[in-house]
Amino acid sequence: MNKNIVTTVALVMIILTGMTQNTDFSWEKEIKNVKATVQVMSNGELFVIVPDSNSNMRYISQQLPEEYKKDGLKVTFTGWEGKIPPNVRMMGKPLKLTCICTTKSEQQKFKLKKRKYSFK
């Protein structure tokens, strides 16, 4: 009987915790044709997109193609800038990409298969 109570309480806590953590972002404004550089963070697992016009800004996108995850790759992107929810710390602003591309010279330098990716 005690196992059933403990299991029920644990299940309720897991469900409530999942409900409180909202992973959806609200998309504030569209940004177009931003020239930027892909950078790898110190842990080697997180890649950020840093605009050339503002080196203090960082964007994080789950849509960044795997082959574009190269430190120093120069890209141009269009997308939607997200709003960071209150009480959430992130390494950069969320970014919902609509298009990301690179130059022919960057494609050859980093041995990329595609120069342009478009997202819906």
Q: Is residue 9 in some structural domain? A: no
69-97 confidence digits (pLDDT tens): 999 999 999 999 999 988 888 999 999 99
Q: Is residue 113 in some structural domain? A: yes
- Domain count across the chain: 1
80 in Cβ contact with 27 (< 8 Å): yes
25-67 confidence digits (pLDDT tens): 788 899 999 999 999 997 788 999 999 999 999 999 999 999 9
C-alpha–C-alpha distance, residues 2 and 77, integer Å: 56
**pTM metric for this prediction:** 0.78
Q: Which structural domain range is residue 96 located in?
A: 24-118
Q: Is residue 15 in some structural domain? A: no
C-alpha–C-alpha distance, residues 27 and 37, integer Å: 22
Q: Is residue 77 in some structural domain? A: yes
Q: Is residue 17 in some structural domain? A: no
In one letter, which amino acid is 67?
E
Of the candidates 99, 97, 46, 53, which has an alpha carbon nearest to the alpha carbon of residue 69?
A: 46
Tokens representing residue 65 in the block: 């193609």
Q: Is residue 16 in some structural domain? A: no
Q: Is residue 69 in some structural domain? A: yes
C-alpha–C-alpha distance, residues 93 and 17, integer Å: 24
Long-range contacts of 4-7 (CB under 8 A, 24+ apart): none
Q: Is residue 85 in some structural domain? A: yes
